[in-house]
Each structure stands twice: as C-alpha cells, then as structure tokens.
Structure 1
C-alpha cells in the first residue's frame, strides 16, 4: 500500500513515516505542496495524506489539482485549523476525511484503515488459502463449507484477510468493530474472538499468529 505523506514539519514527517512504515505502508514524503503535486502526477499512490498548511502550494490546492486527474484517490487532510469553515472547505474540495492536529497516531491509522475499507471495498470473492470471502453477502467459505460467524467474527476475519501478511493492531480491530456500529472490545474480548477464529480456520490452511506487543498476523500455513 503506497502512501504519499505531504507534511512540512520535518520531525512530524519523520515520526509518521516510521510509524506508517511499521503499519505496512510504503511511504513517500513530500516536504511542500509543489513536490506533493508533482509526485501525485508522476507516480502511482494508493492514498495520500496532505497537510493543509503546506508551503509553496497549500494542501487544498494540491487536492483540487489531484482530483482533476485522480478523482477516486483516497485523501485524508491534516490540519491545525479547527474552524468549521476550514473543515468544510477541505471536504468540498474532495477530501475523504480529515484529522485535526494534534492527534495520536492510533487515531490517524484507524482513520486511514477505515478510509481504505470505504473507498476500496473487497472484491466479491477474496480467496486466501482454502478460505473465500464474499464481501457482498458477508459469508466465509472453507473448502466449500460455510463458516458460522458472528458479526464481530466476520468483521475481524475480513480485516485480517484484507491485511494479510501484515500485523493488525488491537486499535485497528476496535476501530473496525466501532465502524460497524458495535462497541469496542474491552479486557480480553479481542483474545476471545481471535481464539474462536483460530479454531474455525483450522481446516483453511491459515494461522493467526500473535505478534507480541503489536497485534495479530494472518498467514498461510507452510
């Protein structure tokens, strides 16, 4: 997943590049709006994070330009401005979401993941190992046999499959459940659902590994 990060604060940009890289993104950094605009026109990106207050060419101008050539590119705005008019202007210019500074990285990551789920829905059939997901009907099948899944189990499994071979954090799981209109998992709730899915995926040729201190990783068994 290739992401353009347009941010002129060097310390913040370095920190976000490292954190996003650890979350599985390939990050290209642009220190000003002119560079961001050039990169967006010359390279392929899966999504972009634009600071509104960029030098040389502000984030809204970059956004308006990119929308002429890449109308479906997911774009999240970063802004220190909290006035309603500024947020409205960003959304009207074509932003898909925004985060107001200062923010915590888990919030930014959760918003990016939610944005990707909204703008890049899974295909009708997403095979992985002996498992197939039908995102339209929210059904999972292993070797032709349907899996009996609760709503939370489906959301968790879909997240793990969409992020296959990447670590999924507990914050991402809680955000996915929250996006579905449910409550987040407190205490050992996440561990309980991970345990249930492990048992149900035993015949799928897949394993959910616990990555200590980080989260969970869905892999094909070797």
Structure 2
C-alpha cells in the first residue's frame, strides 16, 4: 500500500481525495497548512508528498523549497489552479517533481502518484546523518569539524548512499553509478568503497558505512 501526505486547505476536496485514494489502496494523511505538512514530511516515511500551491500562511512552493533544503528527497506533487507556464516553472524550480492543474481526473492523480512512488526525487541538495553533512550542490562534505576531500568516484558513491539512507544499495547499483554498463571487475568497487570508508569513518568515530553481506552497502547510524 502506498502512503502519501496530502497538504490541502480545501477540506471538501481533501475529504474527497482521501476517500477516493482509500478505494485505490492508497493511505493518505491530511493536514491543512504547509507548516504542519513540513513537520509530518520530516517525521514520517511517505511515498509521495502532495502540496496545494495556494496554502494559508505559506505557499506550497515555499514548503517544497524548505523540504529540499532539509534534505527531504521524497517525490513532491504540486496541486494548483494556476496553469500558466511561469507557475509550472516556479514549481519545478522550488524542487517539485510533478505538477497537476485543478480540476483534474482522479484516475490521473492516482497514475501520477504511482509513477512518482517508484522513484526518488533527486531534488534534495543537502543531507545530514549523525554528524555527517553533505551538500551536493556546493560539493562539500563534512564529518564533524573535518572536511572530507573526496574523489569524483567518492562523491558519486557518497551521494547515492546518502540519498538511499538508511536503505541498502546493492553493489551492482553502486557499480552502475560509477561505470554505467561497462563494469570492471569487483575489486575496483572494493577499492573505491575502502577509500570512502576511510574518509567518512575515521578512527574513533562511530562507523556510518556498513557492508551488508550478500546485499550491498548502507549509510546509516548503527542502532
């Protein structure tokens, strides 16, 4: 079952959407303002976030920008009555992944939600796990007070691990990120992962990069 968050101040529309999505086996939490939506999005693992643009107090554009700045990489769909090109461009520039103009067909909304749920956004630019912070736009990574000087391959590996944290990323996927379909032998990946682990997990620090036997690698705080 998909689990989505709907941030919509039109309560009649929100109730209709929640009831219809339930029939499609999609669970839907609802709040009526952007601040509450941001809080829930940061605390709960949703498959997709749906924000109305014209929200009281804070627009859906602003909420979208704030979530991306906080490293929330969940796909975001914006709902709005604005159908101008400039409005759509503003939506994408704020970090959204899709844009649906009201009024819309319910079947189209469901199709878009299912499509978005299959991928990560890729829009978030800043991430933090424990005392490790990574800004992919500024190309800066720090562990505590240490700046991590990463190679191009190290950056690619750290970014995909960050974007998927705490989930395990298969070694096949990591290899594809580095070399596409032209994969070298497995020792090459081991060398790059070893170098990355030495940079991220210095002596005396709690390890964040974990090899999961027969599955892959995960970047997470060990419980």
Please, what TM-score do these two structures have when normalized by structure 2? 0.52
The more displaced of 99-108 and 27-36 is 27-36
Provide, for residues 60-110 of structure 1, a one-character-per-residue CA deviation record: whole Å limited to 9, x for no partner.
111011112244211100011011111000001111101000101001111
Shift of 1:43: 2.4
For 1:1-222, list aligned pairs within 5 A.
Answer: 1-119=2-120
CA contact (8 A) 2:42 2:72 kept: no
Question: 5+ unaligned residues in a row in structure 1: which ranges?
Answer: 126-222
Hey, what's the Cα distance between the residues in 1 that align with 2:45 and 2:71? 10
The 3-state SS of whatever aligns with 1:4 is strand
| Superposition deviation, residue 35 in structure 1 | 1.4
Q: Is the 8 A contact 2:48 2:116 kept in 1?
A: no
Q: Using the alignment, how far apart are the partners of 1:111 and 1:2 within structure 2?
A: 14
Query: 1:124 offset after TM fit, Å?
Result: 10
Contact 2:54 2:80 in 1 (8 A): yes
**Unaligned regions of 5+ residues in structure 2, if any?**
122-167, 171-223
Please give the TM-score of this superposition, normalised by the length of structure 1. 0.52
Query: What is the deviation of 1:47?
Result: 1.3
CA 45–70 in structure 1, closer or farther in 2 if over 3 Å, else same:
farther
- Shift in alpha-carbon separation, 1:19–1:70, aligned structure 2, 3 A: farther
Structure-1 separation of matches of 2:35 and 2:72: 19
Runs of 4+ aligned structure 1 residues displaced above 6 Å come to: none
How large is the Cα RMSD of the aligned pairs?
2.5
